[in-house]
């Protein structure tokens, strides 16, 4: 579990430092990979995902994350992490995210990431 926690934390460290080569090492580099950034359509395949990170990393300021409500699930082969990404900076926002990893020769590789904005004050209580 500790290796999975480290892999998940490294995603945010690499994101904050705009480390494209580190992201390449972290992600599964195949068509199996998928990513949905908040407000973007889903991107399939590492080459296209890499381009999306290049675009994000070329922005005016790198994102900073404060993660919360982190939950780890899975087994020794596949795992997923539910969490909230609190983006700090000029536009403070909260995002619900799922990071999916697979164990590739004893190394956790990211295979998927999906994030969607949390809508403040939205009452979703049933009945």
pLDDT averaged over the chain? Answer: 91
- For 44-83, what is each residue's pLDDT tens digit? 999 999 999 999 999 888 788 999 999 999 999 999 999 9
Q: How far apart are CA 85 and CA 82, in angstroms?
A: 10
Higher pLDDT, 25 or 121: 25
Instruction: Find all residues with CB under 8 Å of 93, minimum gap 6, and list them.
Output: 86, 87, 117, 118
User: Would you give the distance in Å from CA 105 to the centre of its chain?
Assistant: 21
Domain at 2-117, CATH from 3.30.70.890, 3.10.450.50, 3.50.50.60, 3.40.50.300: 3.10.450.50
Q: Is the pLDDT of residue 119 over 70?
A: yes
- Structural domain boundaries in the chain: 2-117
Q: How far apart are CA 41 and CA 88, in angstroms?
A: 23
| Residue in 23, 50, 52 with CA at minimum distance from that of residue 37 | 52
pLDDT at 2: 81
Q: How far apart are CA 127 and CA 124, in angstroms?
A: 9
Give the pLDDT mean for 30-39: 95
Higher pLDDT, 26 or 61: 26
Q: Is the pLDDT of residue 108 over 80?
A: yes
pLDDT at 96: 95
pLDDT at 93: 85
- Exposed, middle or buried by CB within 10 Å (0-12, 13-18, 19+), for 31? exposed
b/e string for 81-92 if b means 16 or more Cβ within 10 A? bebbbbbeeeee
Quick check: 27 and 110 in contact, CB under 8 A? yes
Q: How far apart are CA 10 and CA 6, in angstroms?
A: 6
Q: Is the pLDDT of residue 118 over 90?
A: no
């Amino acid at each position: 579990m500790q290796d999975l926690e480290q892999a998940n934390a490294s995603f945010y460290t690499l994101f904050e430092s705009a480390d494209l080569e580190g992201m390449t090492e972290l992600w599964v580099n195949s068509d199996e990979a998928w990513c949905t950034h908040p407000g973007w359509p889903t991107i399939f395949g590492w080459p296209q995902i890499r381009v999306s990170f290049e675009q994000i990393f070329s922005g005016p300021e790198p994102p900073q994350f404060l993660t919360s409500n982190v939950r780890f699930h899975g087994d020794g082969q596949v795992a997923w992490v539910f969490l909230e990404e609190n983006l700090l900076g000029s536009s403070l926002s909260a995002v619900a995210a799922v990071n999916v990893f697979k164990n590739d020769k004893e190394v956790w590789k990211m295979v998927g990431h999906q994030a969607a904005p949390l809508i403040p004050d939205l009452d979703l209580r049933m009945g």
